[in-house]
């Protein structure tokens, strides 16, 4: 099932949910520590993850 990201608040909520999955799974203590996540890019405000992203906010 797809979810329309019609507002900035909904987009942020979904992005935070995805970023926190490794934390909830007990893989890392902080979302930005997971090397396969864009959470570190958003946390540090610059490109520093393994995969180049396009910042959406």
Structure tokens at 36: 């396969």
Catalogue the E-assigned strands of the chain.
Answer: none
Domain ranges for the chain: 1-57
Please report the pLDDT score of residue 41 as a whole number: 93
Q: For residue 39, is pLDDT > 90? A: yes
Residue 57 has a pLDDT of 67
Is 25 in contact with 11 (CB distance < 8 Å)?
Answer: no
Q: How confident is the model at residue 1 (pLDDT cuts 50, 70, 90)?
A: low
Lookup result for tokens 């995805």 = 18
> And the tokens for 33?
């520590």
Query: What is this structure's pTM?
Result: 0.78
Q: Which residues contact 47 (CB under 8 A, 6 or more apart)?
A: 41, 53
What digits encode the pLDDT tens for the residues 6-30? 788 888 898 999 999 999 999 999 9
């Amino acid at each position: 099932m797809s979810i329309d990201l019609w507002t900035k608040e909904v987009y942020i909520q979904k992005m935070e949910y995805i970023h926190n999955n490794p934390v909830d799974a007990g893989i890392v203590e902080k979302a930005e520590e997971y090397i396969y996540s864009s959470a570190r890019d958003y946390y540090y405000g610059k490109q520093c993850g393994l995969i180049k992203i396009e910042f959406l906010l």
